[in-house]
Structure 1
């Protein structure tokens, strides 16, 4: 490993933190939306909680594809920024918007035809019907959701994470108001329960997109990028790069989110109580995950910027500083989850049986916090290098050759049910973390050695 002075490490860590803190807060704010949905659905009824949880898990399998694809925009923009190719940044913004609309249209129709697939996967009819209605309501927000993701990723590539944070916090009050209105009814609307959560989420996504669009349009620092000028279809060269970098990220993201989503769907076969406990515990674990996820955004942007400048030593340092910061946070997260797991669950429900079930799952969630943080930030560093294909293969191996089969065996054959699946998650995340970290170590070292030999 290349040696760096404490001053260099401090400067790069400070630069990372400056970008990462707003990104982390934005992730937490956006996650708060899901927490509010879960809390309010759980307070309405156990069936509403189960339907919203199952529907969210189902949608995340689709959502993950575009989320992963949009992740390619961050390193593309940061590379162009490092190279000084500013007009290409504007074209990248435009391309992201076009793809977001196209993907949103396809998703709109998929979400409106989910009841039969849910029944075929073994979800009980009472939960399947309500979940399908929730997804139909959610479908109206598909296009603005994907447009927001495109704008978010492009802005992150320019280190504009503070604006995303502000937009994300602005919509939280709207989410609470819309949920209250649509779940319980009022002002001419009937009580809609879980279905109301779907409509509220669609409106919130629309506001998120509009707020970030206004910021992007009004930002004077972006005037030279011509984002909203000389509008045209993206060039084939740009599209090819987008899908070359983004498709493996999308598939890799699908491997991970699909693991969690499929487990969530299979858990729904165990009844309302276990489904609710799983949803609460997963929600808490996901909140903790928002910090390393936000940090990975900063790592990708910083690594991508230095790669664009062809400064590979600084690129490698940025990756290691980010991964190190993640380990420090994960240690804190594990401690809090172990000490206060019953208290955390108490925010979601006052049902004693549900609290005990969810708390036992949070104990397992605490175990995989280290692996989860390590794998997402190692992957973020590799994305900054535009190294995405091999990481995708690693994720497929980790999650679907080891993680899910082991979880299924323990849950179904050994009778561990939900806990069996969670042990499978631990195995999959740990294998992914090891493989991705060592690939970044090897690839960043090779980049330095190759540059020195030229």
Structure 2
């Protein structure tokens, strides 16, 4: 009998491994998991290439608050708590404005995937107008909302410091919303690095003017909290100018910067942007509002618990911005595949972003636990505040995974232009499940600050689970429909 070498057997058996119709059960068990994992992990490089500028850009936004917190924290616990209180209203307004601007990205991405420049240009122009109107509207709303701070059972000295800070930062909503329009447009074309450049350089501007105006360096007056607010305002005007200047000069974007008067009057385009933007704004509002509620709940416990809450929130926000970057990536790549009607690739790419954010957030969770006693010392030297913040970081570590997953899955659903049901899911998760837990466990005679954060953990976990079920159902339905019509 002729001898058959091991090399010959392997060579002959290779088609059996690669042909799904001929794989035997044992080969399936041994090889299928490896094929599946590699199908996702090979997308990590492209995902990160799109995501990292968004991550850094979003971290840049958080860094504005971080710089304000660190510099103001040197003035004491009350000024730090005042920045937290003032920003609590700003963040609510910001969530609405950014949510509306997010409508631009999936529409641009879908038009780009279909190779339709004229449609993409129309969405871009209408998006700028929408964001400009939103900026003015939010500025006015924040000014009108100032008296609310006096009725939230907050320490009086904190409220008195927060009002002047809020008045100045509110005006910065106008340049920031216009910046968002340019940013989301560029993101939709997978050109995410320009917004990153603008944000990071703007942070240098913010640090410079904070230093000069908070402490009264050189010829500048000592304005303390108002100085921090002015630094933020100046940096946001700079950020808008920078991204406008850099985008209009790039060859890839020149066609989109050709304006026509008739573009202003297309009501169906505004309706399309609003139909996507309003539910997205509500999604962000529901999440930001529950984190804002923690500021108010912590304020009822006293100045030190509120300062500790602000430190933990700021640190958690920094890691959350990494997940936001991958959420934008999911929106862009899912939107591209939707434009190409390639739903099999759409699912594979989406799940690759889910896996990637899970792994990254797991690392952050470990980091929060390991460095929980050291991280708060960056902000303040008050021992009681440091100890409270360290406890909160343990809970923050636990919800890193669910927080990261839910924002990336939301991004994937946004790429499918599915926004209404996810909005309902977010409301249920945060306000039917999460907030009641925070309210009842966050009382001083129950668990205090820790109880507030257990509510956040419950809400974010519920959101991640329900949104995953929604995306899996929708993407499977699209895939089956396309296969049936093929």
Category of TM-score, reference length = shorter chain: over 0.9
> Is 1:318 matched with 2:343?
no
CA distance in 2, matches of 1:4, 1:312: 19
CA distance in 2, matches of 1:174, 1:308: 39
Spell out, residue by residue over 1:173-195, the C-alpha distance to the aligned partner (whole angstroms, 9 max, x if none): 21111111221124554322112
User: Where does residue 380 of structure 1 map in the other structure?
Assistant: 411
Deviation, 1:452, is 1.2
CA distance in 1, matches of 2:458, 2:258: 44
CA distance in 2, matches of 1:249, 1:2: 35
> Is 1:110 matched with 2:110?
no
> Is 1:239 matched with 2:270?
yes
User: Where does residue 265 of structure 1 map in the other structure?
Assistant: 296
Question: Contact 2:297 / 2:439 at 8 angstroms: preserved in 1?
Answer: no
Question: How many residues end up aligned between the 2 structures?
Answer: 454
The one of 51, 54, 73 equivalent to 1:20 is 51
Q: Give the 3 Å change call, closer, same or farther, for CA 441–226 of structure 1 in structure 2.
A: same
> Is 1:161 matched with 2:162?
no
Computing the radius of gyration from Cα coordinates, the structure with the larger value is 2
The one of 127, 131, 144 equivalent to 1:96 is 127
Deviation, 1:3, is 11
Spell out, residue by residue over 1:261-303, the C-alpha distance to the aligned partner (whole angstroms, 9 max, x if none): 1221232222221111110111111111111111111111000
CA distance in 2, matches of 1:163, 1:244: 27
Once superposed, what is the RMSD of the aligned Cα atoms? 1.9
> Is 1:430 matched with 2:461?
yes
Question: Contact 2:364 / 2:400 at 8 angstroms: preserved in 1?
Answer: yes
1:118-267 aligned within 5 A: 118-228=149-259, 232-267=263-298
CA distance in 1, matches of 2:293, 2:445: 19
Spell out, residue by residue over 1:151-171, the C-alpha distance to the aligned partner (whole angstroms, 9 max, x if none): 111111111111111111111
User: Where does residue 335 of structure 2 map in the other structure?
Assistant: 304
CA distance in 2, matches of 1:291, 1:103: 26
CA distance in 1, matches of 2:170, 2:439: 31
SS in 2 for 1:341: coil
Question: Contact 2:301 / 2:444 at 8 angstroms: preserved in 1?
Answer: no
Q: Give the 3 Å change call, closer, same or farther, for CA 227–393 of structure 1 in structure 2.
A: farther
Q: Can you give the 5+ residue segments of structure 1 that lack an aligned partner in the other structure?
A: none
The one of 56, 72, 92 equivalent to 1:41 is 72
Question: Contact 2:95 / 2:285 at 8 angstroms: preserved in 1?
Answer: yes
Please identify, of 167-176 and 307-316, the stretch whose mean Cα deviation from structure 2 is larger.
167-176
The one of 371, 377, 394 equivalent to 1:340 is 371
CA distance in 1, matches of 2:117, 2:269: 14
Q: Can you give the 5+ residue segments of structure 2 that lack an aligned partner in the other structure?
A: 1-31
User: Where does residue 26 of structure 2 map in the other structure?
Assistant: none
Please identify, of 110-119 and 350-359, the stretch whose mean Cα deviation from structure 2 is larger.
110-119
> Is 1:400 matched with 2:431?
yes
Question: Contact 2:326 / 2:357 at 8 angstroms: preserved in 1?
Answer: yes
